[in-house]
A and B are shown apart, each in its own frame.
Chain A
Amino acid sequence: MKPNNSIKTNNLPPWDEFQKMVQGIWEREYYTNHGPLVVDLENRIENLLGVKNAVCMTNSSIALMIAIKALDINKKVLIPSFSHLNIAQSVEWAGVEAEFGSIKNDSFVIDPKGIQAETNENIELVIAVNDFGMVSEIDELEELARQKNFRLIFVSDSFFGENYKEKKFGHFGDIEIFSFNESQLINGADGACICTSDNLLADKLRNIRSSYGAVKKVPIPYTGNGRMSEIQAGLSLLSLDNFENKRNEVLKRKNEFNTIVEKTEGVSIYNSINVCCNFILVLNCVKLGINLKDVTHKLKLINKHIELFKFYGVEIYSPYKRKSFPKNSLIDSSIGLPSNITSEEFNEVVSILTQNIK
């Protein structure tokens, strides 16, 4: 095996635990349609995050589409203009129009000042994204939502289990979505979870997901298929079992990374190291003497979850124009690293980035 393959990120549970979980499914002969493992997973998440309703789904894009339908949004949706194109696509599939809201100049999150100016009676929903250690100004957004009467969805993919001002993620907005993609600490081989304290909204989400697991029949625009399978739930549960350990490991590694970059000119870590999530490596490309485009391929080979932001801020229809953000200090001079990146992988990344300096 090539060395590159042997150090691939692996945040899956040990094989024997996986095997045992699979055996359970084989014994129960229950494969999908809101099976016992999905029920268990939803209960565990509700307890862990202290949320009223956790509704698990196939993956986070489908979860977002279904969330928008459950909110019965019919006019327009404001989304951060620099976000992965799946956000705009989900809005489009939900049958409504996305407008691109300004982001802050020193991060990727939506700017509440912009929202003041950009929202009008046509904006029924604002989607805010918390990712790569960058957290939206949640309090301001919630206050604005009240004042201006729009609904609020947080896509907080990588903040599962973390706190914001002493409150756990999962409690913000009308709806908060977490991804259980394999780049996250909770690895459901894709999969997602929607949290909401609104019971009616939760019932709508369950009804749209498919009738199985719908506690109560409530009116919805129409249904989709957002079911999470038993094997996805089983994998997510195994990640949850080991969550604290994994989290501590990651935080320890992040400390280590911080020491490495302190000694490396032209490279720094953007966000607080106390949060356990994916993070941004800020690059001074001039100092480093590199062009990010030239190293993209090499970086992707180290870990496919390294994010070069190629599909952020792009239009979803041809000619797929990418917006420019001249005032933003991060865009085009940063890369995103997954929370579970290993020390070996991190060192490799740094050595590629610093290849042109002595």
Chain B
Amino acid sequence: MKEKLAILGNPPAFEKPRSTSNLIKPNIDSFLNYIKPSYSKGNLVEDNSLIQELENRLALVHGSKYCIAVCNGLWGLVLAINELKLNNKTEIIMPSLTYRRMADIAAWLKMTPHYCDVEIKTLGISAKSVENSINEKTALILAPHPIVNLCDVDGLLNISKKYKLPILFDSVEASYACYNGKSIGTFGDAEVFSVHASKFLNGFEGGYITTNNFDLARKLKAARNFGIENNQDLITLGINGKMILPHAAMTMSSLDLLETQIKKNKLRFYKYKELLEKVEGIDLIEYDSVERRSFKNILVKLNSQWPYSREVTLKILQKENMVVRPYYFPPLHKKEAVYPTIIGNLPNTELLMNDYMLLPCGEFVDSDDIEIIVDFLVYIESNSKEIKIELAKNNN
């Protein structure tokens, strides 16, 4: 194995990195066709027909009444929370095991993240734990869907109803999914999506919010344009949160590839599934087969038979240019913050936080790559004794 592992000084398995980013590549002509009419008018930043076309199309995909395109997912979340939060309340209930900037989003709103636990089954926010975190300061429930499958939508909606608390879903990782046969994008008070190049739809940068609430949609449309409604009146606190037209054109051309993408994602997923059978220490997290899913992310759990810690595993694989990533690590409650945070009881988060890992996926990963990746996993699993000795010698 001295000849094989990059971490021991050999050439990596891949010359070009294979990452966990989607990076789908729309048809260039389709992109140019979408942008050309606005380009020839010299208009690349406006709430014009292209933005409306995109918003209508996304609303249709999600089955929501309204869609509001924004400059990116992060400010989309900030603006949506700002409109939805209960007045004079300060806490946002959110999981700790989630997107690394989620607590910073609360900080931009001068609010306090209140971390609750996730369910072992879904890795999503647990309704029970949310209920335990509710207090007189709770302003909103922020429920991000996990990277594979969905959180307990019904359970969470019940809590939101029972306590009359607004609920916002971060559905960045749940694009294209269905819950009980109904498309994601219509649940809770609103849902936020990102079209960052690494996500399901590649819009360079960008995001959008879906909702069935007319008044919220109206406020958000103003909020992304300095709070100005229809270039006339101020109706809320805003920023420049507009999606620019090149990003809208890119998202449109990504949407054109939606069906093909799902097919490719499925092929990748089932290839991993078939091959990972050979790896005892790694369990693939499966997509719910009865509901619509994007099959985009490849999430695995390192079980008790896997011979390495996750940290060492990541190191070994990354050296091979397999840009694997730990699942939301560190969890937010382990990060130092300059703003106040509230840490609830997080037994499941503590239990799970070192077990999961994302394997390469997306446009740059084909069947042959998956074979190389899994063969490599098989190899390091079956030669773990010798490898560990070599690693120890090399101070790894």
Residues of A at the B interface (CB closer than 8 Å) are 5, 8-12, 15, 18-19, 22-23, 26, 29, 31-33, 58-62, 65, 84-86, 89-90, 92-93, 95, 181-182, 187, 189-190, 221-225, 227, 229-232, 235, 300, 304, 311, 314, 316-318, 320
Contacts and interface: CB of A to CB of B under 8 A. Distances in A.
B76 to A, nearest CB: 10
A232 B246 CA distance: 8
Interface of B: 23, 25, 28, 31-32, 36, 39-46, 71-75, 78, 101, 103-104, 107-108, 110, 196-198, 202, 204-205, 226-228, 231, 233-234, 237-240, 242, 244-247, 250, 337-339, 363-364
A279 B237 CA distance: 28
Contacts of B250: 31, 231
A228 B204 CA distance: 9
Nearest to B243: A190
A222 B238 contact: no
Given A15-B39, A225-B101, A22 B226 contact: no
A61 B41 contact: no
What is the interface of chain B mostly: helix, strand, loop, or mixed?
Answer: loop
Q: Specify which of B226, B228, B239 lies most central, judged by the most chain A CB atoms within 10 Å of its CB.
A: B239
Contacts of A85: 226-227, 234
Q: Specify which of B228, B237, B240 lies most central, judged by the most chain A CB atoms within 10 Å of its CB.
A: B240
A229 B196 CA distance: 9
B338 A222 contact: yes
Contact of B108 (A33, A89, A222): A222
Contacts of B198: 33
19 contacts: A12-B42, A18-B39, A19-B32, A29-B23, A29-B364, A31-B23, A62-B71, A86-B239, A89-B227, A89-B239, A93-B78, A181-B45, A182-B42, A190-B240, A221-B339, A223-B104, A225-B75, A304-B46, A311-B228
B45 A182 contact: yes
Given A32-B197, A225-B205, A232-B244, 10 more contacts: A12-B39, A15-B40, A59-B71, A59-B242, A222-B337, A224-B74, A230-B204, A232-B204, A235-B246, A300-B231
A32 B240 contact: no
Given A222-B108, A311-B228, A189 B245 contact: yes
Contact of B44 (A29, A61, A182, A311): A182
Q: Specify which of B31, B197, B245 lies most central, judged by the most chain A CB atoms within 10 Å of its CB.
A: B197
A225 B246 CA distance: 18
Shortest 6 CB-CB distances between A and B: which pairs?
A10-B42, A189-B44, A31-B197, A229-B204, A61-B240, A225-B74
B237 A92 contact: yes
Nearest to B206: A229
What is the interface of chain A mostly: helix, strand, loop, or mixed?
Answer: loop
A316 B205 contact: no
Contacts of B338: 221-222
B238 to A, nearest CB: 6
B114 to A, nearest CB: 17
B74 A60 contact: no
A148 to B, nearest CB: 26
Contacts of B108: 93, 95, 222, 224
Contacts of A311: 226, 228, 234
Contacts of B43: 8, 182
Given A15-B40, A182-B42, A189-B245, A317 B101 contact: no
A32 B196 contact: yes
Nearest to A26: B28
A181 B226 CA distance: 15
Contact of B205 (A15, A92, A227, A235): A227
Given A31-B202, A231-B247, A89 B45 contact: no
Contacts of A61: 226, 239-240
Given A58-B71, A61-B239, A85-B226, A10 B41 contact: yes
B72 A222 contact: no
A223 B74 CA distance: 10
Nearest to A192: B240
Contacts of B25: 26, 29
Nearest to A314: B234
Contact of A316 (B74, B101, B237, B364): B237
A229 B244 CA distance: 11
Contacts of A181: 45
Given A23-B28, A26-B25, A225-B73, A5 B238 contact: no
A206 B234 CA distance: 32
Given A22-B31, A224-B104, A316-B227, A32 B204 contact: yes
A247 B67 CA distance: 40
Contacts of B23: 29, 31
Nearest to A187: B44
A93 B239 contact: yes
Contacts of B107: 95, 221-222
Given A189-B44, A231-B247, A232-B244, A89 B101 contact: no
A249 to B, nearest CB: 15
